[in-house]
């Protein structure tokens, strides 16, 4: 599978799953736009890519802000060209029990995780339609499928990505554009470092794979859905959770 010369946009590319996805595309020859909330965060990923002789550029953007997103894609178009692939990975969590959840905690999670994906898709749609080609991959979560106590905002945002994915697939499929989602399980990232020991033990005991996942377990699924070979796959969710939700 090759992405030689293709422009790939990855949001939330400074660490964890997003960073691994950006590295994986660069290794396959893509020109990667690494997007993070700060340019320094994105630049750290670009530095690793450059050390492996890949091609990438760092961008800072708050994906929940419409003007920032429009400016981002204008800059990417000017710097790298028309994006062929968009990976909506940017995400935050503000976990707490529903009765204690502040309105701003609800709004921030929905704004970044769900609205941010919508804004990025909207920004890239016109150029993809003109090219009559595009691959959009939204990074959701098994929490969006199962729910979780203390994560009402996060679960709602990730479940919303499933509906967004299917709707975009139906709207844009006739123009050669696919839209799919990947739902990771419990992955070893900064976001899961604070998991209680008993929850980690539960995952290890329950998942047939017998371990938590790694960012490197997610990247190949994204590359498959973003590839030429997956042109007849759209509106789908690929769950990568070691069998946890079986």
154 catalytic residue (yes or no): yes
Length reported for the chain = 246
Degrees, nearest 5: CA angle 165-170-171: 100
Quick one: tokens of 237?
């969710």
Rounded CA-CA distance 114/99 in Å is 22
Provide the β-strand partners of residue 134: 177
3-class state of residue 83 by DSSP: strand
Answer whether 45's CB lies under 8 Å from 19's CB. Answer: yes
Catalytic residue, from 59, 133, 154, 232: name it: 154
Percentages (nearest 5) of helix, strand, coil residues in the chain: 50, 15, 30
- Closest Cα partner for 140 from 211, 245, 35, 31? 245
Rounded CA-CA distance 201/198 in Å is 5
Quick one: tokens of 149?
């106590």
Residues annotated as part of the active site? 154
């Amino acid at each position: 599978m090759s992405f030689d010369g293709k422009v790939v946009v990855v949001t939330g590319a400074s660490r964890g799953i997003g960073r691994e996805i950006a590295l994986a595309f660069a290794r396959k020859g893509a020109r990667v736009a690494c997007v993070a909330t700060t340019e320094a965060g994105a630049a750290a990923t670009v530095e690793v890519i450059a050390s492996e002789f890949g091609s990438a550029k760092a961008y800072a953007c708050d994906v929940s802000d419409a003007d920032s997103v429009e400016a981002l894609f204008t800059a990417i178009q000017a710097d790298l060209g028309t994006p062929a692939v968009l990976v909506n990975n940017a995400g935050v969590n503000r976990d707490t029990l529903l009765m204690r959840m502040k309105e701003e905690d609800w709004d921030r999670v929905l704004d970044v995780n769900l609205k941010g994906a919508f804004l990025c898709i909207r920004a890239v749609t016109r150029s993809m339609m003109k090219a009559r080609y595009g691959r959009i991959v939204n990074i959701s979560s098994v929490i969006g499928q199962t729910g979780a106590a203390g994560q009402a905002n996060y679960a709602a945002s990730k479940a919303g990505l499933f509906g967004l994915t299917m709707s975009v697939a139906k709207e844009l499929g006739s123009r050669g554009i696919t839209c799919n989602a990947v739902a990771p399980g419990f992955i070893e990232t900064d976001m899961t470092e604070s998991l209680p020991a008993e929850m980690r033990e539960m995952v290890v005991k329950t998942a047939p794979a017998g371990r938590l996942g790694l960012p490197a377990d997610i990247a190949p699924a994204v590359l498959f859905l973003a590839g030429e070979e997956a042109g007849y796959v759209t509106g789908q969710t690929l769950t990568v959770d070691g069998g946890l939700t079986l």
